[in-house]
Structure 1
Amino acid sequence: MDSTTVHVSLDGKRIKTVPSRLNTADLVRLRADGARVAGPAPAGRAPGPLAARCPIEVARTVNACGVVGLAGQQITVGVPLAGRRVTLRLDGPLMQVVADGMLVRMPCPIPPQRRACISDAQLSPLPPQDAVRVGRKVSTRGSFQVCGQQVQVGMVHARTVVSVEVTDTTLHVFDQDGHRLRTVPRTTSLEVTRFKAYGTKNRTTG
């Protein structure tokens, strides 16, 4: 625990993360009473009041009817996801449902002012500082290529330009409004050789 976040664990496994109500004086008093210095945090910071204006993430298991529970509401995310563990990313007016690299976007049913009450939510991680951002034009088949890897984003995005954040392990795909469309594992080790999207031609390099 610290002055912003408290992690609750049992037998070494994290149960939940909640905002802290402790200040610096409280932490000093706890150490004087014999509290031990904690090791690495088992999860990110609790969002607290930041949840109203920053993207947050929470993990849920989808039930047999394709529904998850969040902030006292039952939200339908789709029967195809039944039984799967998904990540719900709440970002402004949108909610993204991420499962095994697949992503579904929908209007967020939880208003910003209620998101601080989601006790196990975490601030959505920022892109790695060493990420490289490139542009790609989606083909008429709904795909594009980056670093020699073919990525499918769907026919609905055909002929549009997307941004791709390339890291050592993942490819994060964003539309022109900055909304994340999909995150997929990176399967090649080729370096980025082209940073801008070509206007009309489909290319197969870089």
Structure 2
Amino acid sequence: MTEISPLFQNALQAFGEPRDGKKPQAEFIASARGRIPDSLVDFWVAYGWGIWLDGYFQLCDPARYRPILETILEGDPDFNASRSHVIGFSAFGSLLVWNEDHRVMDIDMLYRRITCRAFFKGAATKADTAVAIAIGNVNDAAYDPPDKVGKPVFKRVRSICGQLDFGEIYRPKLEPALGGVIEAESFQRVSALEAMAIAAQLEPFTLFDSTKPTVPAVRRIGRGNGGSA
């Protein structure tokens, strides 16, 4: 059996094995080597993709969600969609992305925010360590968006809508970019790929600098929207 790095073993101890998903095919594994850190690829070989933490987060097939990144990052001078890979997403569609140039990226599909610490501060750790830390933080409270009065919604939404199946997310019936309100009662269970494809097309996303206490907005993402910070 493929040896799993200690950092990923810690994630398994904390979250258990991903469930209800699938194992990647050999062709995908071969194409991922050298582009996605080996420690993560080895983890996928051993345990596959699937749901963690009752749907709070799930690991996914990067190839399936590539069109989402192609829409969001199209033509961006710093973040190349062809060098970016969705490795998982939250119950509300926040994407965890591995970028071959800038490492870990987070794309919040509800608030249309992108963060990437290494882009602003450089890589402080090895790639395998960086991706393992990101996987070890998939229970982060940041993946549970607040409603209009600031209260997290995941448990209430799960109670109303039921547990997610692999490949599903919770999404407001009306997209926030179109005026929808983020409150527990407004969510429904939907296909992750279909909902993300719609959300990705509505308006440009904004890059924020999470290395600063105020987390300022830096620029819009996409074609013709600035360049290196």
Q: Same fold (TM over 0.5)?
A: no
TM-score (norm 2): 0.26
Structure with a larger share of its residues in strand: 1
Larger RCO, structure (CA 8 Å, separation 6 or more): 2
Structure with a larger share of its residues in helix: 2
